[in-house]
Structure 1
Amino acid sequence: MKIKEIYEIAIRKGIAADPRGKEGVRKELARRKKDYDDLKESEKKDFDQESLRNPYSDTRVLYGDSDLDVQGVLVGIDMEVGEVLLADRLQEKGKRIDLVISHHPVGKALAALHGVMHIQEDELHQLGVPINVAEGLMAGRIAEIERRLMPVNHNRAVDAAALLGIPLMCVHTPADNLVQDFLNRYFDKNEPERVSDIVKLLKDIPEYREAVKRNA
């Protein structure tokens, strides 16, 4: 499988599980297209044109040839400079590592993290919170994250990957969408009534059970 195929699958799966629904995602992409079309020609060159087809600014191929065939992957929640160096070391020891995939965004995907947080407004709305209230609740937090990330040296891992010649990508919101969709269906099926019921149900899931053992 090629890097671009992994990337496309991530986007497609993320949209399928998006709390806004496919129509909501389509409308969001249409709004972005209008914003792009309204720009001056001199401004269009700075526009992230990938955002016209990928609704998740925190999910990107950050370095590497998208046509590269991938047979071995190093995947983790946080893949920073140390993990990129680990991939390089594993390659030296004979491990096949063609691609590093981080869940949490790095590089330009991290710098644009605040852009995807509006999805949480739709999630709150689905739970019965009026959309204007949800937007008000999230506005401060979104602005806080944007300010917090402004001074961050967000491209360190990407630069390290480029220097070592190791392809790097991140998949954030699509993965979160899939987890949220799984848990929603899981809870709907089991109908927990108390927080303690939810905790018990979560511990029945192998990954959560393992997390408990690790004090995660």
Structure 2
Amino acid sequence: MRENQSLADEYINQLFAIEDETLLAIRSALKADKKEGINIGPYEGKILQFLIKALHIEKIVEIGTLYGYSALWMARALPEQGKLYCLESEPNHFEKAQHFLMKSEVQQKIEIHLGDALSSLQQLSAKAPFDMVFIDANKAGYIKYLDWAEEHIKSGGLIVGDNTFLFGNVFADNSQAHMTINKETIAIMREFNSRLANPKKYNSILLPTAEGMTVAQKL
């Protein structure tokens, strides 16, 4: 969880990831609803922006939008013709994301889809190939999301997964496992990281952010 920022986090945020009023408003709403800890932080949003700009990414799918914080970081990095397809399964989260994103200066680049992620992904398949898939949803679904991403992303495109340390469980032994994470979910996340670590298929790295962010470029 990201409730507490380290001094290093604060330093990076102040230099490289300064938030404007809209980003701050989203984080304020998350905090008021006691959901701030499950959202990415400012410098993680800047990492996503950096990747999008550096690789000239134009078409993105985000699986798990919450209130739209990460979506806003990404949409702002897209070129004018870029498109971000946001998938959210929770109606309340969808409404909050609509509220913030559809009032932003990049609203024309964003489509928000409400419903089960796998059903929404099936509907988006016709728009493939995509340049990037950002996965930040229910952890038990990561392998199914990866299966879809591998099939629908172009060569040279990115697959990015957040929370891939799974609160430390991917590298902890069973006696140290986080009480709220079951063994099946731990196995799923380990498989997710292992598949993306395959040098025959990906140029990849697991960034040691607060919760772990796996970044893989399809070869």
Larger of the two Rg values belongs to structure: 1
Higher relative CO (Cα under 8 Å, sequence separation at least 6) belongs to 1
Give the structure-1-normalised TM-score.
Answer: 0.26
Higher share in helix = 1
Higher share in strand = 2
Give the structure-2-normalised TM-score.
Answer: 0.26
